[in-house]
Amino acid sequence: MMLLAVSCLLFGLGLSGVLVRRDVVAVLASIEVMLGGALVLLVGLGATARTAHPANLQGIALMVLVVIAAEAALGLALLVAVARQMRTTRIDELTEVRG
């Protein structure tokens, strides 16, 4: 029960950060916190599973960790490109789409 509470708390903190923050870096960090909450839940469930193969959930958690790393790298690369072009990282000011 405590595991579910911790993961829900992390996910809720990340969700509130995504909804409240206006800087792209803070939004990306909040998304990472949300994914971290899901990762905590998967690893915890894999550790406490009473099945014949509890490592299945931990393997899924490892794949989620790879997705988190790829999302962070891609998001930061896009952030650098947008910051160089538009000279801002504020979401409110990023309204133009140019090719």
Q: What residue segments make up the domains of the chain, in order of their start? A: 2-86
The Cα 92–Cα 99 span in angstroms is 20
pLDDT of residue 87: 87
Q: What is the 3-state secondary structure (H, E, C) of 13-26?
A: HHHHHHHHCCEHHH
Positions in the chain whose pLDDT score sits under 50: none
What DSSP assignment string belongs to 55-95?
Answer: HHHHHHHHHHHHHHHHHHHHHHHHHHHHHHHHS--BTTT--
pLDDT of residue 14: 96
Q: From the CB of residue 45, how many other CB atoms can be counted at a distance below 10 Å?
A: 17
Nearest CA to 43 among 53, 58, 63, 33?
58
pLDDT of residue 99: 61
CATH number of 2-86: 1.10.287.3510
Q: From the CB of residue 7, how many other CB atoms can be counted at a distance below 10 Å?
A: 20
